[in-house]
Structure formats: structure tokens, C-alpha cells
Amino acid sequence: MNRIFSGMQPTRQLHLGNYLGALKNWVALQKDYECVFCVVDLHAITIDHTPDVLRENIREVTAAYIAAGIDPEKNILFNQSAVPGHAELNWILACHTPLGWLNRMTQFKEKAGKHRDNAVLGLYAYPVLMAADILLYKATHVPVGEDQKQHLELARDIAGAFNRYYGKEDFFPLPEPQIMGEATRIMSLRDGTKKMSKSDESEYSRINLTDDADTIALKFRKAKTDPEPLPETVEDLEKRPEANNLVTIYAALTDSTRQQVLAQHAGSQFSGFKSALVEVAVAKLAPISAEMNRLLADKGEIDRILKRGAERAGAIADQTVAEVKDIVGLLRV
């Protein structure tokens, strides 16, 4: 059986990278797979946070999932902390994860920065919790952006290590990453060599899902470019990080390829191309942001959707945790 699991952290607002690199693909996948979509709030507390803001962000990310087209009836949609199995399996998997594997994780090195001794244990152990998220549902496929590839490889290694240790070769499926489409890595609008990220201090580096048309226009107009017109080939485009990023965004927003975009816009100056880009971005994002606002006006309803999702997720999770306890030798009384 195939099952999808994926999640996003409720840290600040979702941006165009989250939408094009992940969320948009989830919407397409829900037709063909059984899907579990999670708001990974336990991951969000691995960095500094404010409790009241976190609570609101959890609802906002939930609203973004639904507004983008995730059907909460057909799929399971919930917040991670509402299902205790995530934290339970995390501990058990942590006891099967060599430190050497975690020491290789580049995201930890980036986030911990220079003062590694001050970084919290949760930030270091983050990829183990992520493995637990996936394996708790015995998910076979995990749609994510390019930046999560290393974490997914670790999840596969942990699944394999657990299976081998207990002599249960088929217990956890080894989850397959699904890194799909043109927009697996959207870059900052200020620097085409840095990924678009929630944590960039410049608001002009990213388009948020809730930005209004004027803000989207302003951010694209200020986006860094080079003085050349758009080239004819993808090969030439790839030598120019900022140009490549804007063409990639255009391609992903219009469900086309970069080659098709260049066929239409080669020779254009950025002033003209940016206007076209603003138009397609606003057309795509305005309905999502309007729907998010509509949903967020009724927080009770969002909480009910999450509660129902947690019950459905919990039913699968409880079963896996019981099986894992039996395998490990933990007595269920």
C-alpha cells in the first residue's frame, strides 16, 4: 500500500517556496494517494518562538493547506503535538540513531551557527523526530522540497537500522522522497544563491502566501536581477542565478517548463518580464490568501478540523506504537 506523509513547520508565514516546492505538489498527489498532512508544531519549538504567535501560526498553516486545495475530509490533516505517538516513536528511534549520522546534517550546522554548544538538543535531534513522523504512518512517499533530501535519507537509514536490529526486514517501509516539478528550490529574491526562507531577515527576500497584490508587485520589482535580457536557452539561463530563479517561479506558477517560458519571453527586459510575473503570481496567490482569511475568521472551525484529523491520525499512530513496543520488548500492560 502507498501512503504519503508530509509536513510544514508553523514558524512564521508560508512563502512561495513552500507553496511551489511542496504544497502545490501535495494538492496534485491527493488524487492518487492516501495522504497524511501534518502541521509539525513540535519541530517549530526547536527554534526561538513566542507561544501566542505559535498558536496562531498553527491555525494559519492549517488554513493555508486547505486554501491551497488540500481536502481535509479526503486526507488526514492535523497538528503533530495532538498525536502523542510522534514523541514516543521519536525516543525509540533516537535509541537506534548513531550520533555520527546526526553529525552530518547540514541543516543543523546552518541553524546552530557558530555557537554550537548553545544549540538545544531538540534542534540536533530534529531529523529523528522527522523520521518518527514519517515512520509512524509507515509512509512510502514523502513529497518535499530539495532542502529536505538529506533528512529523508536519514529517515531511510533509521528505518533500515530498526528493521535490521530486530530482524524485521519489512516492518518500516523505506520512505521515498518525491522532489517534484521545476520549483524544488526557490531562491531568495535578494540573492539568487540563497534559498527563499522564512528565517531570512529581509521581507523583500520572499513572497508570502498572504501578501496582497501591491506587496507582490513591489517585491518582484525590487527583486535582484542582472542587466541582460532573458536568454534563449536553459543552459544560458542557468549561468544567471537571479534570472533563473524568476523564470523558474514563472514556470511553476503557470505549470510549464523553463524552456517554454523562454520560448515566450527570450529577449525581454526584466521590467517587462517582471510585470508578467506579477500578473501570474497575483492570479495564483490572491484566491489562496482570500480563502485563508475566510477560514481564519472562524478559528473554532479550524480547531475542529484539526481535532478530527488528530483522531484519524491517532488511530494509525496508536497501532504502529503498539507494534513497535512489542518488537522492542516494552511490556504493554
> What is the set of active-site residues?
111, 195, 198
- E strand segments, the chain: 3-8, 34-39, 76-79, 141-143, 176-178
Binding partner of 317, given ligand TRP, ligand AMP, none, CB within 5-8 angstroms per partner class: none
Q: Residues 107-146, buried b or exposed e (16+ Cβ, 10 A)? A: ebeeebeeeeeebeeebbbbbbbbbbbbbbbbbbbbbbbe
Half-sphere exposure of 72 (CA within 13 A, CB side): 24
Residue nearest to ligand AMP (CB): 21
Q: Mark residues 3-42: x for contact with ligand TRP by CB under 6 A, - for none.
A: --xxxxx------------------------------x--
Binding partner of 18, given ligand TRP, ligand AMP, none, CB within 5-8 angstroms per partner class: ligand AMP
Give the three-state DSSP class for 142.
strand
- Closest contact distance (angstroms) between CB of 149 and ligand AMP is 9
Instruction: Indicate the residue among 18 and 225 with the shorter CB distance to ligand TRP.
Output: 18
DSSP string, 172-197: S--PEEE--SS-SSPBPSS-TTSB--
Residue 187 binds ligand TRP, judged by CB under 6 A: no
Q: How far is CA 289 from each of CA 15, 149, 199, rounded to the nearest angstrom?
A: 11, 29, 21
Binding to ligand TRP in span 78-117, by CB under 6 A: none
| Residue from the set 67, 144, 216, 237 that interacts with ligand TRP by CB under 6 A | 144
Max distance between CA atoms of the chain, in angstroms, equals 72
Instruction: Indicate the residue among 12 and 240 with the shorter CB distance to ligand TRP.
Output: 12
Instruction: Indicate the residue among 55 and 294 with the shorter CB distance to ligand AMP.
Output: 55
| Helical H segments across 7-148, by residue range | 16-18, 24-29, 41-44, 51-68, 85-94, 99-103, 106-112, 121-136
Give the three-state DSSP class for 141.
strand
Residue 62 binds ligand TRP, judged by CB under 6 A: no
49 grid coordinates: 518562538
Judge contact between 138 and 173, C-beta under 8 A. Answer: yes
Binding to ligand AMP in span 118-147, by CB under 6 A: 144-145, 147
Binding partner of 281, given ligand TRP, ligand AMP, none, CB within 5-8 angstroms per partner class: none
Residue 142 binds ligand TRP, judged by CB under 6 A: yes
- 140: nearest Cα among 163, 180, 173, 168: 173
CA distance from start to end of the chain = 31
The sign one gets for the Cα dihedral 107, 113, 116, 120 is negative
Binding to ligand AMP in span 193-252, by CB under 6 A: 195-196, 198
Instruction: Indicate the residue among 177 and 231 with the shorter CB distance to ligand TRP.
Output: 177
Instruction: Indicate the residue among 134 and 230 with the shorter CB distance to ligand TRP.
Output: 134
Angle at 50 between CA 48 and CA 56, to 5 degrees: 125
Instruction: Indicate the residue among 9 and 163 with the shorter CB distance to ligand AMP.
Output: 9
| Residue from the set 22, 92, 135, 316 that interacts with ligand AMP by CB under 6 A | 22
Binding partner of 185, given ligand AMP, ligand TRP, none, CB within 5-8 angstroms per partner class: ligand AMP
Binding partner of 175, given ligand AMP, ligand TRP, none, CB within 5-8 angstroms per partner class: none
- The residues of the shown chain that bind ligand TRP, judged by CB under 6 A, are 5-9, 40, 43, 130, 133-134, 142, 144, 148, 151
- The residues of the shown chain that bind ligand AMP, judged by CB under 6 A, are 8-9, 17-18, 21-22, 144-145, 147-148, 183-186, 195-196, 198
